[in-house]
Amino acid sequence: MPALVPTTGGSLLTVKVQPRAAADAIAGVAPDWVRIRLRAPPVDGKANAALSAFLAQSLGLPARTVTILSGATGRLKRVRIAGLAPDAVRRILALGAPAP
Protein backbone atom coordinates (compact mmCIF):
# COMPACT_ATOMS: atom_id res chain seq x y z
CA MET A 1 0.00 0.00 0.00
CA PRO A 2 1.34 3.48 -0.80
CA ALA A 3 2.61 5.65 2.04
CA LEU A 4 -0.02 8.29 1.33
CA VAL A 5 -3.57 7.76 0.06
CA PRO A 6 -6.61 10.04 -0.17
CA THR A 7 -9.58 9.55 2.11
CA THR A 8 -12.81 11.43 2.61
CA GLY A 9 -11.83 14.84 3.94
CA GLY A 10 -8.11 14.19 4.20
CA SER A 11 -5.30 11.67 3.83
CA LEU A 12 -4.08 8.38 5.25
CA LEU A 13 -0.35 8.21 5.95
CA THR A 14 1.67 5.10 6.76
CA VAL A 15 4.45 5.90 9.22
CA LYS A 16 7.35 3.82 10.53
CA VAL A 17 8.33 5.23 13.92
CA GLN A 18 11.76 5.06 15.52
CA PRO A 19 11.32 5.94 19.21
CA ARG A 20 14.09 7.08 21.56
CA ALA A 21 15.90 8.96 18.79
CA ALA A 22 18.23 11.90 19.36
CA ALA A 23 15.72 14.35 17.88
CA ASP A 24 12.22 14.49 16.41
CA ALA A 25 12.62 14.44 12.62
CA ILE A 26 11.44 13.02 9.33
CA ALA A 27 14.17 10.49 8.59
CA GLY A 28 13.12 9.42 5.12
CA VAL A 29 10.32 8.87 2.66
CA ALA A 30 9.87 5.44 1.04
CA PRO A 31 7.13 4.32 -1.37
CA ASP A 32 5.31 2.41 1.39
CA TRP A 33 5.94 4.56 4.48
CA VAL A 34 7.49 7.68 5.95
CA ARG A 35 10.14 7.10 8.64
CA ILE A 36 9.84 9.46 11.60
CA ARG A 37 12.29 9.58 14.50
CA LEU A 38 10.92 10.61 17.88
CA ARG A 39 12.67 11.35 21.16
CA ALA A 40 9.77 9.90 23.15
CA PRO A 41 10.00 6.32 24.44
CA PRO A 42 7.43 3.72 23.34
CA VAL A 43 5.92 3.60 26.84
CA ASP A 44 2.38 4.46 27.96
CA GLY A 45 1.47 6.01 24.60
CA LYS A 46 4.20 8.66 24.80
CA ALA A 47 5.55 7.91 21.32
CA ASN A 48 2.02 7.98 19.86
CA ALA A 49 1.31 11.35 21.45
CA ALA A 50 4.66 12.66 20.24
CA LEU A 51 3.94 11.39 16.71
CA SER A 52 0.55 13.12 16.59
CA ALA A 53 2.02 16.37 17.92
CA PHE A 54 5.02 16.22 15.56
CA LEU A 55 2.89 15.59 12.47
CA ALA A 56 0.38 18.29 13.40
CA GLN A 57 3.16 20.83 13.96
CA SER A 58 5.03 19.81 10.78
CA LEU A 59 1.86 20.09 8.70
CA GLY A 60 0.68 23.31 10.37
CA LEU A 61 -2.54 21.73 11.58
CA PRO A 62 -4.31 21.54 14.95
CA ALA A 63 -3.42 18.40 16.93
CA ARG A 64 -7.02 17.16 16.78
CA THR A 65 -6.74 16.66 12.99
CA VAL A 66 -4.11 13.89 13.35
CA THR A 67 -5.44 10.51 14.50
CA ILE A 68 -3.64 7.17 14.77
CA LEU A 69 -6.02 4.62 13.23
CA SER A 70 -3.92 1.48 13.57
CA GLY A 71 -0.59 0.33 14.90
CA ALA A 72 -0.84 1.99 18.31
CA THR A 73 1.39 -0.69 19.85
CA GLY A 74 3.76 -1.21 16.90
CA ARG A 75 6.24 0.84 14.93
CA LEU A 76 4.23 0.77 11.70
CA LYS A 77 1.19 3.02 12.02
CA ARG A 78 -1.68 4.30 9.85
CA VAL A 79 -2.44 7.94 10.58
CA ARG A 80 -5.45 9.94 9.39
CA ILE A 81 -4.79 13.59 8.61
CA ALA A 82 -8.06 15.49 8.35
CA GLY A 83 -8.40 18.53 6.14
CA LEU A 84 -5.27 18.10 4.03
CA ALA A 85 -5.08 16.42 0.61
CA PRO A 86 -2.32 13.87 -0.10
CA ASP A 87 -0.50 16.22 -2.50
CA ALA A 88 -0.23 18.90 0.18
CA VAL A 89 0.95 16.38 2.79
CA ARG A 90 3.54 15.00 0.34
CA ARG A 91 4.94 18.47 -0.43
CA ILE A 92 5.20 19.47 3.23
CA LEU A 93 6.79 16.18 4.34
CA ALA A 94 9.28 16.29 1.46
CA LEU A 95 10.56 19.64 2.78
CA GLY A 96 11.43 18.03 6.11
CA ALA A 97 12.93 14.82 4.71
CA PRO A 98 16.67 14.43 4.24
CA ALA A 99 18.05 14.50 0.71
CA PRO A 100 18.43 11.04 -0.89
User: Mean pLDDT, 10 residues at a time, over the chain (100 residues)?
Assistant: 91 97 93 95 96 94 96 96 92 68
CATH classification at residue 88: 3.30.1200.10
Number of domains in the chain: 1
Q: Would you say residue 35 lies in a domain?
A: yes
The pLDDT, as a whole number, for residue 97 is 63
Per-residue pLDDT at 93: 81
Nearest of 2, 1, 5 to residue 81 by alpha carbon: 5
User: Residue 80 domain-assigned?
Assistant: yes
For 2-29, give one letter per residue: b (16+ CB within 10 A) or e.
ebbeeeeebbbbbbbbebeeeebbbbeb
Residue 99 lies in a domain: no
Task: Report the pLDDT value the prediction gives residue 98, as an integer from 0 to 100.
Answer: 59
Q: Domain for residue 100, yes or no?
A: no
pLDDT at residue 96, rounded to an integer: 67
Q: Which domain holds residue 75?
A: 4-93
- Report pLDDT for 84: 92
